[in-house]
Structure 1
Amino acid sequence: MICYSAPASSEMEMSSVRKANHSSASTATTTYYDRNHEEDWCSKVVTTQPDGMTLSQHTPREPRNYMGLAVVVLVCFNIPFGIIAVILSVKANKDFQKGNNSKARVKGKASMVFSVLGIVSTMTAIFLVIFWPAIVPDNG
């Protein structure tokens, strides 16, 4: 998705003065796209400048860090796996703030993996405790 941003009205007036001063031989035209509000879903912002230059800037999306899932695992399911998942989520946030998106994405996915492992291991242990007497016959 591309979002367009136009310069302020004073910049547009300066641009029209500059264009009037240019020779008639130049046929370059500048089109301004007016975008009053930047949306959260924009992945690329294009800003047109008064001199006809166009600047584009990619705004990366924050990778998922699965902090909510990590806290649920910490509180409800498995403390060791939950602690690891929360630490990885916090590190993913810090890496994103530093601008290292690839490390943030990897740590976020690792947090999710540890959270899922915590849930699966706890559910397996509960299942075995409840159904162990029915699975293993008593030889006594």
Structure 2
Amino acid sequence: MKIFLFFCTVVSTVTYVFSIDATCKKAPSDSRGLVQKMRSEIETILQKLTEIQSELTDVEYGLTDCGISSRLYTGKQNCTKSGRICMEWKKQDPHTHVYKDRDFSDGTMEKAGNYCRDPNGGNGKPWCYTIDADVVAEDCNVPRCNTFF
């Protein structure tokens, strides 16, 4: 079975494809429809990737304070839905936790600061431990880019 790479061209009604080994070969006669369908699907995928890249760039450079997923949110929101201030992730007081640097998309607890996060993505929305000794943790009101978590 020959695997065809995603790029094709038509010359004088003959379809050629660039195969996985980077050579240009005549496609089997019954593959023209398949190749055209693949081209259309790839164009759609590339468009979606471009949109995602744009959102990631906006989040990376702080142009928006929203997240594309709870795990990847690295914005600067540091208070909960009820207005409580978040505890720094590197601290263990007033609440203790078991999170490690590797659990944060920021790379370290130091970089995660006292910002709303969802280490390991387990909560499904950004949250934080609070500095209030009577309230351990709360969700944050971080919008998902184009919607809410």
TM-score (norm 2): 0.29
Q: Which one has a larger percent helix, Structure 1 or Structure 2?
A: 1
Q: Which one has a larger percent strand, Structure 1 or Structure 2?
A: 2
